[in-house]
Amino acid sequence: MKQLKLFSFLFLIATLLLSCNQNKSQSSDEWIQLFNGKDLTNWTVKINGYDVNDNFGNTFRVEDGMIKVRYEAYDSLNNRFGHLFYNEPFSNYILRVEYRIVGDQCPGAPGWAYKNSGIMIHGQTPESMDKNQEFPASIEVQLLGSDSLVQRSNMNLCTPGTNFVMDGQLILDHCTNSNSEPVYGEDWHVAEVVVRGNEVIHHIFEGDTLMTYNQPQLDDREANYEKLAALNGNTKMLSKGTISLQSEGHPIDFRKVEIKIIKD
């Protein structure tokens, strides 16, 4: 009888462990929708020159089930770069965004911002930004279009207030190009970013890995480095941070923003 009870107890424990492992596996495979398709719940706006959540000119809006970035209210962009932040920071994840670059550039936007937007990762919070700060300290995955006037690679890497390591070398350049072909037209595209804390980041476009780099970190040459390091747990190495979508002067649509948490 004692052996039977012991066997039953061990069987119950094994069943519970199997169930926990199955649930863990399932949760690891779930895509979480950061954009609900209806409104900007759980998102925060920060536009250069304005207070947090002052969405000047309805720059970031939800229409037709999409997040749209538009500039009808701007007579000139006047460096009013903006970012739409998801309210929860993340560390280890796969981010997948469906987007299209459309229409005409906002008057007064710089030439380099033509058909240019981005996904910011490992970023500071909007509340920690200065009112007149153009870009959050972050790692920027550029979303870039090309046409007969401009040809360039897509999903390049830019580093406002940050640096990174590639092939064992600390890279101090502000922007580094990917190995992609130019992207033309106004079709929908799928951009993915695989982020493993401070270890490695991959840029993936339509299933092809375009860039891989390591050890994202704050740039200690920046004037506000001490403030940012303090907000980052008194370390320069970036292991987590905000995700934001950019308003850089060219209209863009996002119809899906989803994340899969990497458990291990």
Per-residue pLDDT of 191-227, as tens digits, reads 999 999 999 999 999 999 999 999 999 999 999 999 9
User: How far apart are the C-alpha atoms of 91 and 121, rounded to whole Å?
Assistant: 9
Res 23 pLDDT > 70 = no
194: Cβ contacts below 8 Å, ≥ 6 apart: 93, 94, 200, 201, 202, 204, 262
pLDDT tens, position by position, 163-185 = 999 999 999 999 999 999 999 99
User: How far apart are the C-alpha atoms of 110 and 105, rounded to whole Å?
Assistant: 9
Which pLDDT score, from 0 to 100, does residue 232 have? Answer: 97
Task: Confirm if 117 and 69 have CB atoms less than 8 A apart.
Answer: yes
Task: Confirm if 120 and 137 have CB atoms less than 8 A apart.
Answer: no
110: Cβ contacts below 8 Å, ≥ 6 apart: 77, 249
Provide φ and ψ at 6, rounded to 5°.
-65, -45
User: How far apart are the C-alpha atoms of 94 and 82, rounded to whole Å?
Assistant: 24
Per-residue CA distances from 38 to 68, 128, 177, 198 (Å): 12, 27, 35, 33
Across 6-15, 123-132, 133-142, least confident range: 6-15
Which pLDDT score, from 0 to 100, does residue 28 have? Answer: 55
Task: Confirm if 242 and 77 have CB atoms less than 8 A apart.
Answer: no
Res 8 pLDDT > 60 = no
Beta bridge partners of 68: 61, 253
Res 105 pLDDT > 50 = yes
Closest CA to 194 of 247, 134, 261: 261
Task: Confirm if 94 and 262 have CB atoms less than 8 A apart.
Answer: yes
144-170 as b/e, with b when 16 or more CB fall inside 10 Å?
Answer: bbbeeeeebbbbbbbbbbbbbeeeeee
User: How far apart are the C-alpha atoms of 218 and 228, rounded to whole Å?
Assistant: 8
Query: What does pTM read for this prediction?
Result: 0.89
Which pLDDT score, from 0 to 100, does residue 93 have? Answer: 98
Which pLDDT score, from 0 to 100, does residue 29 have? Answer: 77
* Backbone torsion region of residue 87, taken as left when φ is above 0, otherwise alpha when ψ lies between -120 and 50, otherwise beta: alpha
